[in-house]
Amino acid sequence: MNLNSPAKKHLLSKEMEQYFLDVDRSWKFNMRFFKEAFKSPFHLKEIINQCFEVGYKSLALITVTGFITGIVFTKQSRPSLEDFGAQSWLPSLIGIAIIKALGPLVTALICAGKVGSSIGAELGSMKVTEQIEAMEVSAINPFKYLVGTRVIATTITIPILALYCSAVALTGSFINIYMEESTSFISFAQNTFKTLTFIDLFSAVGKSIVFGYTIGIVGCYKGFHAIQGTRGVGKAANQAVVLAMFLIFVEEIIIVQIANWIRLY
């Protein structure tokens, strides 16, 4: 097809129009969440249930992944430091890398794949089978009950999982260092945390909160607007994972840059 043909121009115009409509709809979806989040009823029982779904059921995968990450990162970093005679800096390097970056990022990516897809598929299935419309008929606010509870749960739980993942990764790193160099735990802990500042810890927790909100709101948005029957459910789950991971990397870059600016000034 000729790129300058009227049909091609019309197709591009429709795609651009759809893109801006999606941006507008997603913005309104976010604003509606903040509007509904501070109104009663708060559905605390459902929030606790969703925290269990997000947190406890992700714990085993977070534990294994965090432990392996700590061991592998330590083994990969040691030869490079040995070349410069700076092997004693290994615990400090590990502490900075895991607490500031790897812990929150690994947790967010795992939860984006596991939790984001689950939320997108669950709400998508409810959407295409008209269960959401049935809730509206029953005088229940489906947005507050389905979206609000899930987004709050991911925003609360993922920072806790990120701290847990960092602790497990540091444990794996310590085991590796102890087996190689017989370093005591007290010495390892002192060297690990001596280079970290309050800004580092604050940015790690802050980015985990942002990641948790992103995973929850993206999964709910894609599921809440699923179309095309059962095919749309799979599409919503897939798009929730891809978009959440993309936004997580973008937010990581932005938050790191903001933290560096704060550190300088």
* 209 found inside a domain: yes
How many CB atoms are located within 10 Å of the residue 9 CB?
12
Task: Report yes or no on 222 lying in a domain.
Answer: yes
Range of the domain at 257: 43-264
Question: Residues 16-40: pLDDT tens digits?
Answer: 777 778 888 889 999 989 988 888 8
pLDDT for position 1: 47
pLDDT band at 135 (very low <50, low <70, confident <90, very high): confident
Q: Give dist(CA 158, CA 151) in Å, integer.
A: 11
| Joined tokens for residue 24 | 């507008």
In whole angstroms, give the CA distance from residue 27 to residue 20: 11
Share of residues in the chain with pLDDT > 70 (%): 95
Examine residue 117 and state whether it is found in any structural domain, yes or no.
yes
In a domain, 24, yes or no: no
Check if the beta carbon of residue 247 is closer than 8 Å to that of residue 214. Answer: yes
- Do 116 and 53 touch, CB atoms closer than 8 A? no
Q: Are residues 110 and 211 in contact, defined by beta-carbon separation less than 8 angstroms?
A: no
Could you read off the pLDDT of 52-74 as tens digits, one per residue? 989 888 899 999 999 999 999 99
Whether 9 maps to a domain, the answer reads no
Question: Cβ distance 151 to 215 under 8 Å?
Answer: no
Give the integer Cα–Cα distance in Å for 55 and 73. Answer: 25
Q: What is the pLDDT of residues 110-119, one digit of tens each?
A: 999 999 999 9
CA nearest neighbour of 169 among 78, 100, 112, 79:
100
Helices (H), 38-116: 44-83, 90-97, 103-111
Question: How confident is the model over 64-90, as a mean pLDDT?
Answer: 85
Contact by Cβ (8 Å): 208, 104: yes
Rg of the chain taking only CA atoms, in angstroms: 22
Largest CA distance in the chain: 73
11 has a pLDDT exceeding 70: no
Total structural domains within the chain: 1
SS3 138: coil
What spatial distance separates the first Cα and last Cα of the chain, rounded to whole Å? 55
Angle, CA 51 vertex, CA 49 and CA 56 arms, to 5°: 100
Does residue 16 fall inside a structural domain?
no
Return the closest-CA partner of residue 165 out of 195, 202, 205, 122: 205
Rounded-to-integer distance, Cα 96 and Cα 104, Å: 12
Residue 178 CB coordination number (10 Å): 13
Write down the mean pLDDT value for the chain. Answer: 87
Tell me whether residue 19 is in a domain.
no
